[in-house]
Amino acid sequence: MTIDAVLFDWGGTLTPWHTIDPFACWLSVIQDEAQAKALHEAEALVWATVKDTHRSGTMDDILSRAELVLTETQLRTYYQWWDEHSFTDPQAEPMLRELRARGIKIGILSNTVWPRAEHERIFERDAIHHLIDGSVYSSEIDWVKPHPQAFRAAMDAVGVTDPARAVFVGDRLFEDIYGAQQVGMRAVHIPHSQIPAWQTTGVEGRPDAVISELSELPAVLDGWS
């Protein structure tokens, strides 16, 4: 069957995973240990709620739980702290170009509390923004992966209606692989991330294919065309 679109997870898939210290991040933003701890704990609570309910969370939710307000300068410091941990895999750009040359739509679906503008800033910085046809960030919709509505929103973003003609690529067996397969998409696992134990669920998908590098993806798609 013809493949009309390939949708990608962001963190851990297009961007190699880094193990970071969230508390150190918040401390760089607000040089007060008690407030940094409050932000760190609030962030953990928001993500725990996301995991349990599959409802989306935002930066505003984190700040509300911490009962803190950050200035624009502090928010910019936060996002800039992440810059060295968010570089796009060097194999992404040539791989995406090859898919586009085949007439395949490229989409992004990311579970994130960040606003769209910060993700787009990264894609522009790494010169792949022009290769993306549509993107959905959970911070701007009601649901996160693996909820079916998140995947349907991503298909809508690239103008694809038949999930059997779409492929999802991600690093997480539950959110990415299981979630995509539940809506009828084929799913490719790229195990770039060491998933923290507290984030696992026991409900894992069995990928239709496994790749170790992004450059291997076009060959997998060849076998399905």
Give the pLDDT score at 142: 97
The tally of domains found in the chain comes to: 2
Reported confidence tier of residue 18, pLDDT bands at 50, 70, 90: confident
Is 105 in the same domain as 57?
Answer: no
Is 134 in the same domain as 46?
Answer: no
Is 10 in the same domain as 119?
Answer: yes
Is 35 in the same domain as 62?
Answer: yes
Is 137 in the same domain as 76?
Answer: no
Distance CA 144, CA 165 (A): 22
11-14, Cβ contacts within 8 angstroms, sequence gap of 24 or more? 11/86, 11/110, 11/112, 11/193, 12/170, 12/171, 12/172, 12/192, 12/193, 13/169, 13/170, 13/171, 13/176, 13/190, 13/192, 14/88, 14/89, 14/92, 14/108, 14/128, 14/214
For the segment 82-141, what is each residue's pLDDT rounded down to a tens digit?
A: 999 999 999 999 999 999 999 999 999 999 999 999 999 999 999 999 999 999 999 999
Q: Would you tell me the crossing angle of helices 22-29 and 72-81 to the nearest 10 degrees?
A: 150
Q: Give mean pLDDT, residues 157-171.
A: 97
**Is residue 180 within 8 Å of residue 144, measured between CB atoms?**
no
Range of the domain at 177: 5-16+87-222
Higher pLDDT, 34 or 194: 34
Is 136 in the same domain as 54?
Answer: no
Is 77 in the same domain as 100?
Answer: no
Q: What is the CATH number of the domain that holds 169?
A: 3.40.50.1000
For the segment 124-150, what is each residue's pLDDT rounded down to a tens digit?
A: 999 999 999 999 999 999 999 999 999
* pTM: predicted TM-score of the whole model, two decimal places: 0.95
For the segment 191-213, what is each residue's pLDDT rounded down to a tens digit?
A: 876 766 666 666 678 999 999 99
Is 53 in the same domain as 117?
Answer: no
